[in-house]
Amino acid sequence: MSDLLQQLSGLVLGSVPTMLLFLVTLAAYRLLVHSPLTKILQERYARTQGAMEKATASIAAVEAKTAEYEHRLRAARVEIVHHRQERLHALQVESEKVISQARLAAEKHTLEARLTLEASMEKARFQLDASIDELATEVLRAVLPSGNVSSREQA
């Protein structure tokens, strides 16, 4: 057993420098790599989370502006339709006014033409009435022999 203990103590004494080297390497790793890497990862995570929160806030702001623009666009379209209807109504009223004036002018011209025609007819009747005796005499002369015309005229 003493051999075994001696071998074991030799192994432990031989492993002490390896253990010390391992502990120094572990301390150097912690000091040089692990701590800065952890710090950088935490900063990166914080920046990523901050960027995500900013992006979420930006998306919410954009959605709010989009909703506002859509509301303004709908209001503008309603206003345009309203103005168009007002203009159409004004044009319709103006058109009815012009048509009414044209109708009145046409009725006036029709009445004037009717009065002129009636006056011409009256004048023509008067002329016909005035020349009816003369025409009747000429027709009788043309149809009847000349001796009969004078006896008829006397009657």
Say if residue 89's pLDDT is above 80.
yes
Structure tokens at 88: 């159409």
Q: Decide: 139 and 152 in contact? Cβ < 8 Å.
A: no
pLDDT at residue 146 in the model: 65
Q: pLDDT tens-digit profile of 94-123?
A: 999 999 999 999 999 999 999 999 999 999
Q: Decide: 116 and 104 in contact? Cβ < 8 Å.
A: no
Spatial neighbors of 132 by CB under 8 A, at least 6 apart, are none
Q: What is the DSSP annotation of 92-147?
A: HHHHHHHHHHHHHHHHHHHHHHHHHHHHHHHHHHHHHHHHHHHHHHHHHHHHS-HH
pLDDT at residue 141 in the model: 86
pLDDT at residue 153 in the model: 52
Q: What is d(CA 141, CA 48) in angstroms, rounded to the nearest whole number?
A: 131
Q: What is d(CA 69, CA 65) in angstroms, rounded to the nearest whole number?
A: 6
Q: What is d(CA 80, CA 68) in angstroms, rounded to the nearest whole number?
A: 18
Q: Within 10 Å of residue 141's Cβ, how many Cβ atoms?
A: 15
Which residue is associated with the tokens 């029709």?
Answer: 110
Q: What is d(CA 126, CA 132) in angstroms, rounded to the nearest whole number?
A: 10
Q: What is d(CA 114, CA 116) in angstroms, rounded to the nearest whole number?
A: 5
Task: Give the C-alpha distances (Å, rounded to integers) separating 8 from 14, 22, 31.
Answer: 10, 20, 33
- 85 or 138: which carries more pLDDT confidence? 85
